[in-house]
Chain A
Amino acid sequence: MIRVQNLVKEFPKKDGSKFYAVNDASFTANDGEIVCLLGVNGAGKTTTMRVLSTVFQPSSGTAEIQGWDIITHPHKVRENLGFLSGDTGLYNRLRVHEFIRYFGRLYSISDSEITRRMDEMAELLDMKDFMDKKIEFLSTGMKQKVSIVRSIIHDPPVMIFDEPTSGLDILTARNIVAFIRSCKERGKCVLFSTHIMREAERLADRVVMIHKGRILADGSLEALRETTGQTDLDDIFIHYVNQSDLETEVQAHEF
């Protein structure tokens, strides 16, 4: 599970002041649950996820992944975490099996175990035909499948997806959505971020709304509908943004 407590991530600005990308954020995501981090571009979704995956250090507050603190046990956090984003790049000069094996070895998994898992995933995702190909010759859909295998080669209990479908065509995006659902079925804790309301509606058990680094709302769709009296997620989102006196900001966006 993921537990985020009063997380703050600030960046220094040129004029000496600070920019709060994440401001006092707290939320949790449980095993077997899909939680959606919903917000407009620049709301702080990616920064939150980068802090959770130990790429960034938090300015204050902390978070736990499977009970491991991100500051004190970053290595354990990474072992328990699978991370995938829509624009993840791959090493083009490696062959598919070499690429997956490389990351498996970095997680200290034995070669025989890597082979076993790789075969299993290749069967499942229909990848057998291109396991020996160099990545540079793969299609976008094939590359996305390679990324998926890479992110779960160490069988992590927690999965983080940062805008997983952004920039993907409809067929490739469907693969990802199916994969996220399968993670939940296998009892994994899933946190994914998006700015697309429909995606959140279709996938999420619970929605955490983030705006200008602050958490505006946290609850299941039903609960949010009940609280706001709105049925559409777009309207629910705008309701919360208005509530935090940020109406003018929202009009500038395409929602």
Chain B
Amino acid sequence: MAESTIATGSVKASDFAPLAAGRSAETISRPSLSYWQDAWRRLKDNRRALISLYIVVGLLLLTLVGPFIWTMDPALQDLDQVSQPPFADRSATIAAPYSSWDTSDVAPSADGLAVIEPPTSQSVRLSWESIPGSSGGYRIYRNIFPIGPERALGLPLGDVFGGAPRFFEDRLDLEPRTYYYSVVALDENQRETTAFLQRTIDVRRVITAKEAIDKGLAEDTLPVGAELRLTAHPLGTDYLGRDLLARLMHGARTSLFIGIFAPILYVLIGISVGSIAGFAGGRLDQLLMRFADFVVALPFLLFMIVFKIAFGIGPGESGIFPMLIAMVILLWPATARLVRGQILSIKNQGYVEASKLLGASSGYLIGRHMIPNTLGVILVTLTFAVPSAIFTEAFLSFIGMGVAPPTPSWGSMCNEGLKTMLTTPHELIFPALFISITVLAFNLLGDGLRDALDARMRSRE
């Protein structure tokens, strides 16, 4: 452009007038961004990382504030509601205290299998018609699944022998649900015949007025037949009737405590060892790094278990701290190696040389130049270390080597939930879901932080 105007000879003298003073060319027109501001700007643009960050903050809130909002005791057993799924029916009816069944003036059923009184969780009273060929008596079964063509009768409740009247009372762990009862005729040798009666019975939950007061559900004695609602359990209960939401929140305290504090501790140790080794160099460096090599070679999970039993758990202790210490002992070398490498590459940079020339001490060089410049990489390592620590805790608690009961942790809750996976899957699903979401959030956040903080490690996705 400029050359062309000169070529056409249209240059005026005014074109060479000096610029008006007042606008300094030195002024930077845009606000300068610090390293961390720039990283935050990048992170904000990454939607996946930002959502993960929100999830992490939400989880921390759940852990710290949750137990103050949902104040249910995680160890409290609600035996009226054992293994209840979320949003289960909580209604109950007040019933008179149990009195034994006097069958002397009750006529046995003449038509199929009948329920004599309304079936409640207190007792189910059955009577049935006489089945031909039942000279030996009858055997009563109960199933929680439909009997089906394979004749899966379920749990044998008891036998009624030949001479006895055709009555049976079931009081065995009754829950408010649908049961499939069947009565099989026995031959003279008490062997089962093919003839049987069946009936589907919906059991209603009842409690006595006294129980209602004892459990704090009612203030005064309620009349028989009154309706009331049992304690709410938003996520259901486990096999001991403990509130799952409360246990998940207290379990989060265990899992996140280990998941966050163990990495912080071993990363700190790794930073100290790595920076000393990288800065000192020579013999000390060799020595520290050989030792780190040895520790890396220890089979991690085996030694987690060996160290954990070596530190021991006293009666009444949760076993969180032995696990923490074992993790710190075994995992510091990776960070130490990383920090050492970073320090070595920074050590010969111009600004470090300049600082050294100006008389900076070793401590100042490490604290002012080297560690702040490796902080980005360290933060990324830390974020990726959290999910693996959570996995380790869950894994150890799952095989029964982790946190001691009754302290809840997500891993031990999964372990308990696995046993009843087929009948009450929610006991496994919720803790497993929490572990997965947490691990996923920290992994995606780590990816985002790596992209934001470290230009060299930026992923190629």
Task: Specify whether A and B are partners.
Answer: no
Interface residues of chain A, those whose CB is within 8 Å of chain B, are none
Interface residues of chain B, those whose CB is within 8 Å of chain A, are none
